[in-house]
Amino acid sequence: MSATREKVKPCPYAGPFDPYATVTLTEAMLTCIVGFQCEGQPKHVDTELPDEGSGIFYYIAEPYGNYVHKNQDFAVLLCSDEHGLWHSSRLLADQFAGAGYLTIVPDHVDRRTVQGSAITGAPHTFDEKTSSARIAEALKYLKVQRNVTKVAAAGYGIGGNAVVSQLGLGDVHIGFVATPTHGRKDFLKTVDGIACPLSLAFADEDTEWDSPRRSEIVNRVRDTSQAYQVNLYSHVPPGFASNRAVSTKAEVYAKKQAFVQALQWFEEHFHNGD
């Protein structure tokens, strides 16, 4: 018998979220991640990087909360989906910052929605050269201006491809990718070159990554000898981990849990890895 989606009201959970609390996974999943449904307003404003003056904006979420001291040498590079630098990516960055991580979002797809405005128009044609250049500037800022020693990268949709590309270049040390897009064959080829731990989150309704294709990714990542994790979330479409999840309980759960997945992966390999 097939499962039936159950409609829910927006924002069904409430309460603080402590990603490092000594609770069971079940308890953690039942605890709210403030902002995980994209409510509220960003804590910061888009800014140009120091000494760059190029008119290219980044969103920098300063770390806050009880774990800043624990993660002061680490940072998160957040590569957004095809919507670019917009409300959801800013709030997602604030969520990582709330776990104590300095977080930067480059406008790597060259699509910035001014804060307070609604997203309009179709996504731009993805330009890999532009994406790589802006990510490189973000990484340079973290290393030179902020004295970060290790960087974790979280990529969503088209940003997942950008993250995997970075995992073999030396400046990113941990990767998390949710529902990658933009060229399945290119993504598979890039996976072959990773040199860092990689965690992946897939949607079972994503036809681009059906069971045989997901198995191919697992085989390729295994061949790299890197640590890996692959989670499959049921009854959710592509983009569930970065878009506003308000229509079904499955989507609410999956979005929240994918964020927990990323945090746990970063925690493990920042503090317990090589």
Give 80-103 pLDDT, tens digit per residue.
988 777 778 888 999 999 999 999
Q: Indicate the SS3 state at residue 14.
A: coil
What residues are paired with 201 via a beta bridge?
Answer: 178, 231
Look at residue 9 and tell me if it is in a domain: no
Q: What's the DSSP call for residue 7? A: B
Task: For residue range 125-154, list pLDDT tens digits in order.
Answer: 667 888 889 999 999 999 999 999 999 999
- The DSSP H or E segment spanning 190 is helix 184-191
Task: Give 34: exposed, middle or buried? Use CB within 10 Å, 0-12, 13-18, 19+.
Answer: middle
Look at residue 60 and tell me if it is in a domain: yes
For the chain, the domain total comes to 1
Look at residue 18 and tell me if it is in a domain: no
Look at residue 14 and tell me if it is in a domain: no
The average confidence (pLDDT) of the chain is: 81
Look at residue 94 and tell me if it is in a domain: yes
E strands present in 80-193 = 102-106, 150-156, 174-178
Task: List the CATH number of the domain containing 233.
Answer: 3.40.50.1820
Task: For residue range 51-91, list pLDDT tens digits in order.
Answer: 666 678 899 999 999 999 899 999 999 999 887 777 788 88
pLDDT band at 113 (very low <50, low <70, confident <90, very high): low
Look at residue 142 and tell me if it is in a domain: yes
What is the pLDDT at residue 51?
Answer: 67
Mean per-residue pLDDT, 24-34: 36
Q: Indicate whether 36 pLDDT > 60.
A: no
Task: For residue range 173-206, list pLDDT tens digits in order.
Answer: 999 999 988 666 778 888 999 999 999 999 999 9
Look at residue 12 and tell me if it is in a domain: no
Mean per-residue pLDDT, 214-236: 95
With the CA atoms of 19, 21, 23 and 26 taken in that order, what torsion angle do they form, in degrees rounded to the nearest 10?
A: -10
Tell me if 219 sits within 8 A of 192, measured CB to CB. no
Most confident of 15-19, 105-109, 120-124: 105-109
Q: Indicate the SS3 state at residue 29.
A: helix
Q: Domain span at residue 145?
A: 25-113+126-271
Look at residue 56 and tell me if it is in a domain: yes
Nearest alpha carbon to residue 177 among 218, 100, 230: 230
Q: Indicate whether 217 pLDDT > 50.
A: yes
Q: Indicate whether 39 pLDDT > 80.
A: no
Contacts 24+ apart (CB under 8 A), 22-31: 28/260, 29/253, 29/256, 29/257, 29/260
Predicted structure pTM score: 0.82
Q: Indicate whether 155 pLDDT > 90.
A: yes
